[in-house]
Structure 1
Amino acid sequence: MSAAPDLDEFLAEATAFLDEHAERRSSGEHDDEMVWGKGEFDVSVFHALSENDERALLQRAQDWTQTKAERGYHAIDWPTELGGLGLPSAYARAYGRLERGYQTPAGHETHSVTTRLIAPTVRVFGTDEQRADLVPRFLTARELCCQLFSEPGAGSDLAGLSCRAERDGDEWVINGQKVWSSGAQFSRWGELIARHDPDVVKHKGMTAFVIPMDLPGTTIRPIKQMSGGSSFNEVFFDDVRVPDSMRLGDVGDGWKVALTTLGFERDHSDSAGGGGGRVGGSWRQLLATARAVGVNADPVVRQRLARVYADHRIEQFVSRRSADLRRAGQPAGPEGSLGKLLWTNGMNGMSDAISAVLGAALVADTGAWGTYEWGAHVLGAPGYRIAGGSDEVQRNIIGERVLGLPAEPRVDKDAAWRDVPR
């Protein structure tokens, strides 16, 4: 293994690359500042775009990732055999800070699911063939992925899912329905968790697969959201035949695979530079808005802003623990639950702060740049209290696995899934 280059030399080369392929942000525009009134101001949590506009946004994110992949900047701390540079995580964090000084395409949830959730999950549980074949495709976002987890009858209880996978020789026959599958209509692949054995306790009878989304018998139906977009989908499987070679992990490992993916989902660190900023808006956008409307000197507003900033920094530090596990190719631990809870609480705190900053301008469109747009954040932020595992589930995980508190009473703990009332 060759020695890592000097960090300053690495950053000098990365700067030359970014200067060639992206435009620097305006002078003085750094993490805590932005030029007010210039460019796009997006603080939405969920997209409200037409399908063509959303495809175009997603394509820009893919193109940028593939441009970075030409130099390995898309996976700086990933092994070289998987397309990365094999460098320490400090290099990835340094590059992330550097890239934030440039104007790069906006992010998209389907892009993040592919590169930050499913790629590392396949790295942990995939066979050698799956890792060699799929991980480079996913890391570079050449082919996109979605999660096929949630179901109409399971709610927040993922282990209660009923989508069936029945073995038939070297194939599995899939029947059932998934819902709230973000980006399924744009995805080439899906990570599916299905029930292979209804006669054991619910956590034990599930198996995971990574499947093409165009297999015969698969139907994708976009769901119209109140925001106007259709990012979410319901997906139906009618006698879909999946080769056993697409199984992810061992038979019965479905719960373990799902928890690993959800652990990555609860890690909201972005040290490698995801491009385009933070879902739901950033601290610098909040601060810039307060300055623009002239309330940043108000002591009550300043206290709210300081709380948001402190919460944001604490969440970053906690999330870094999960990120370190992800980079090492290990399943995420309960730190992911803590980071996710801090993140959703932080989003709600930002909603409270911007409500105090803008007042009536939050709900009445005055035409002023960067004000009425915050309504999309306030309306969307509560949704992330459910996504990736509800707040209540995160508190249970922290209480039981971190604090050692008694487990929540579960009447179905020792019952076969088939015998659980539904």
Structure 2
Amino acid sequence: MREGHFLTKVTLPEGLSDETLAQGAIPQVAFDGRVLRYLMVDRVITVNLADLSPASGGTSWAEAALTPGRLLGAKTDGREEVHMMTPGGPGEILQRRADDDGPTALALSQDGRLAAVGGSRTISVLDVNARRELARLTPDTFTTTEHVAFSPDGTRLATVVEGPEDGAARTYSLAMWDWKARRLLWSDDVRRAQDVEFAPDGRTLAVATDAERLYDAASGRPIGGPFGGAGQGITLTDAVFTRDGRSLAIVDSRGRLTVYDVATRRPAGEAISGKLSGYAVRSPREDVVAAVTRDDRVQLFDLAGKASLGVLADANQDGVRALAFAADGSRVLVLDGNGTIREQLVEPGAVAAAVCARAGNPLSRTEWARYVTGAPYRETCPRP
């Protein structure tokens, strides 16, 4: 093995289980310490150790928010703390909260410099780099914070809080804050929200409940009527704007993704069945969405083509707590339920480069003739 490294766990490839291992077989490391081989009933699996990386994290977060390069996590197991981490790096306590005001909703600004932490009594805006509180907001009587979301420029904060019971029903309030001035701009009573999303230009706010509702972010005025609701107990679980803000991809509780035209509030095509659980994010470079499936995988969708691009191979056995694209859109960052952040390549050029790096030299003409039939020779990877 590489000096200073040791192997603690082997996760079998998809579709395999402990029972499929050959009788008495155990993983064997090659003599050069660079290759791991383990024997299956019908084949030998080979893994380059250079492709393995130490797992980061190891903490199960009660709440979490993820942006490229930063993780915001909240503990509520007797320690009401908010931690800031970098993937694979040590974490630092960003805020300690009162026992009766534990964190129930988290958000990071797009640039990762600001954090919003909602509890049961207050909502804080924090400077991540300075590790200090910039503002503390106190909505009218409420019992817990359901959602917090920064505007794209970070100057406003949208919140959804749960109020006291009104008879047998719960009440919920949507609000917009100028957090620097600690000033409430507007508020409105809403049904229980599953997601709050700003349009890329910050002018429109989308709120997913039993239907999608759009608000003018400046005034709080509803824009048109609700849309996207399927009725019969079907709710909307997440929504993502396209880069130009003209379309909205909506995930419903049936696990489907549908793209709607914002101006007409009508579907731009048929719903895409993906067995989704509800959490979705868009690439910063293109209209490609990553969404979590019910079996804790990540599925990619092309919003322009209204089509699925496939499911990433790796399963997340501990569940998915947060999801984000890297800043260049080449990778998806997945935070699992055990606090581990995994990176998965999704941009074709990045995937091809990784495959070529693993394969080494491209196929020679002789190797091509031996293994490839029906296609003329071409270089599959650049020569080193």
TM-score (norm 1): 0.22
Q: Quick check: which has more Rg, 1 or 2?
A: 2
**Structure with the higher helix share, 1 or 2:** 1
**Structure with the higher strand share, 1 or 2:** 2
TM-score (norm 2): 0.23
Structure number with greater CO (CA < 8 Å, separation at least 6) is 1
